[in-house]
């Protein structure tokens, strides 16, 4: 067999391999680009025409479809085919001859030529491909340490003296040389604050309460002395114009002194309270004076608007605001009482509106009202200790 025939057989074998590769590639859904790539593969007849110098059909197709876009995948397959032809042409003539003889023998015996595995088709540009390094083992998800949690676990402590640590150090995380926690009894003996609640530690002792009460009494006395000294040493003020309600005050004082000469202790006009006439009445004369104020034909103070307790630090007071529903005139009567054992006769039988007001003053100031029909606490609980609106009040529970 001549050298030319061997070369043609080799070309024919290479063309058969390319045709088989094209058939395998066309089986995948490559679309129009795959068809364009397969149409650009040269056949054996075209190779022969090209060797003879005649234009092949593929050349004419290429010339007619010059405006069509060629995909990167088709170009890659053509390059692989050209590389295969170059390798086949460079092989030794003897090897090509042996392959040709074996192919001829199989054809003479009626056997089909053995199909060689086709090279893998290059993926299209839009087809997903495996990213480089995708086969690398997972190094840890979001928030995991490199290598995963398993790799991040500390190694088990070695048995022996090096791995042995005191139980106290493991539990508390204390450094070497740190003092061990003292027991509660040791803290109490050393005078250190223990684990008792803040409320228990903050509760004052009897001595502290007595000291606070003594300091409060001294402060009240000092303020009272300061007010008295200021009044004595003050320069006489210029005479003021008489209040428009001064005649009402003078008439009220005259009526009360005519009823009981020693009943009135003080009388003045409260300019800051709308020029209301104020009188201060002795506690022992108060029940008779209250009845007079309600039944007098000129005064007719038949409605008690309000009464309120006052802590003056040196003594206690109760102010009664009375009005005549007929004349619409307002008056205020004050009654003083001792601070240590405050007591003022009740006027609930005279003005029923005093009932709950006297109970409130008793609850919050501790002033007793003898003659009240139902004198008991009205705001605080029955077992409450002390009276919250007194200036010397010390709460039993500091958190309340």
pLDDT of residue 49: 45
Q: What is the DSSP string of 348-367?
A: TTT-TTHHHHHHHHHHHH--
The encoded tokens of residue 224 equal 């009272």
pLDDT in tens, the chain (400 residues): 677 778 888 888 888 888 888 877 766 554 455 444 445 444 444 444 444 445 555 555 454 444 455 445 545 454 555 555 544 455 444 455 545 454 444 444 444 445 455 555 555 555 555 555 544 444 455 555 555 555 555 554 454 444 444 454 444 444 444 455 555 555 555 555 555 555 555 666 888 888 888 898 899 889 988 888 877 766 767 787 889 999 999 999 999 999 999 999 999 999 999 999 999 999 999 999 999 999 999 999 999 999 999 999 999 999 999 999 999 999 999 999 999 999 999 999 999 999 999 999 999 999 999 999 999 999 999 999 999 999 999 888 777 6
CA angle 126/132/136 to nearest 5° reads 135
Torsion angle, alpha carbons of 321, 326, 327, 330, to 10:
10
C-alpha dist (Å) from residue 370 to 311, 316, 343, 376: 19, 16, 7, 12
Domain ranges (residues) in the chain? 1-26+37-44, 246-365
d(Cα 233, Cα 35) in Å, to the nearest integer? 121
Q: Any idea which residue has 């200021």 for tokens?
A: 230
Which residues have a Cβ under 8 Å from the Cβ of 378 and sit 6 or more positions away? 356, 359, 360, 363
Contact yes or no for 322/330 (Cβ under 8 A): yes
Residue 81, classed as helix, strand or coil, is helix
pLDDT of residue 372: 98
C-alpha dist (Å) from residue 338 to 240, 311, 346: 33, 11, 16
Q: pTM higher than 0.75 for the full model?
A: no
pLDDT of residue 295: 96
The encoded tokens of residue 192 equal 């250190």
Q: What is the CATH number of domain 246-365?
A: 3.30.460.80
pLDDT of residue 23: 79
- How would you classify residue 241: left for phi > 0, otherwise alpha for psi between -120 and 50, otherwise beta? beta
Q: How many CA atoms lie within 13 A of 206 on its CB side?
A: 0
Antiparallel, parallel or unpaired: β 276-281 and 303-311: unpaired
Rg, C-alpha atoms of the chain: 59
pLDDT of residue 126: 52
Contact yes or no for 218/210 (Cβ under 8 A): no
**Phi, psi of 276, rounded to the nearest 5 degrees:** -80, 135
Q: Any idea which residue has 């039993």 for tokens?
A: 396
pLDDT of residue 393: 92
pLDDT of residue 44: 46
- How would you classify residue 290: left for phi > 0, otherwise alpha for psi between -120 and 50, otherwise beta? alpha
With b for 16 or more beta-carbon neighbours within 10 A and e for fewer, the 84-120 pattern comes to ebeebeeeeeeebbebbeebeeeeeeeeeeeeeeebe
Question: HEC profile for 252-271?
Answer: HHHHHHHHCCCCEEEEEEEH
């Amino acid at each position: 067999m001549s050298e030319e025939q061997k070369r043609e057989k080799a070309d024919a074998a290479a063309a058969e391999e390319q045709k088989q590769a094209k058939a395998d590639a066309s089986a995948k859904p490559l679309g129009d680009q795959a068809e364009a790539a397969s149409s650009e593969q040269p056949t054996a007849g075209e190779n022969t025409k090209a060797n003879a110098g005649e234009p092949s059909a593929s050349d004419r197709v290429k010339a007619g479809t010059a405006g069509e876009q060629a995909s990167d995948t088709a170009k890659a397959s053509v390059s692989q085919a050209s590389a295969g032809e170059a390798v086949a042409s460079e092989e030794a003539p003897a090897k090509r001859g042996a392959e040709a003889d074996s192919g001829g023998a199989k054809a003479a015996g009626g056997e089909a030529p053995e199909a060689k595995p086709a090279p893998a088709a290059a993926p299209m540009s839009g087809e997903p491909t495996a990213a480089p390094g995708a086969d690398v083992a997972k190094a840890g998800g979001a928030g995991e340490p490199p290598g995963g949690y398993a790799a991040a676990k500390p190694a088990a402590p070695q048995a022996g003296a090096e791995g042995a640590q005191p139980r106290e150090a493991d539990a508390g995380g204390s450094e070497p040389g740190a003092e061990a926690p003292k027991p509660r009894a040791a803290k109490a003996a050393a005078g250190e604050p223990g684990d008792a609640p803040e409320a228990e530690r903050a509760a004052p002792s009897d001595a502290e309460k007595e000291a606070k009460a003594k300091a409060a009494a001294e402060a009240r006395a000092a303020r009272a002395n300061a007010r008295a000294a200021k009044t004595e040493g003050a320069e006489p003020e210029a005479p003021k114009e008489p209040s428009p309600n001064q005649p009402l005050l003078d008439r009220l004082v005259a009526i009360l002194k005519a009823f009981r000469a020693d009943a009135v202790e003080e009388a003045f006009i409260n300019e800051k309270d709308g020029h209301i006439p104020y009188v201060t009445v002795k506690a022992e004369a108060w029940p008779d004076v209250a009845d007079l104020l309600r039944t007098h034909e000129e005064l007719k103070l038949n409605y008690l608007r309000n009464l309120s307790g006052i802590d003056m630090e040196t003594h206690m007071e109760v102010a009664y605001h009375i009005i005549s529903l007929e004349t619409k005139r307002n008056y205020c009567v004050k009654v003083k009482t001792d601070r240590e054992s405050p007591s003022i006769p009740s006027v609930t039988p005279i003005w029923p509106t005093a009932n709950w007001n006297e109970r409130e003053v008793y609850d919050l100031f501790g002033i007793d009202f003898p003659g009240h029909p139902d004198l008991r606490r009205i705001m605080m609980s029955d077992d409450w200790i002390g009276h919250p609106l007194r200036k010397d009040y010390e709460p039993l529970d500091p958190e309340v």
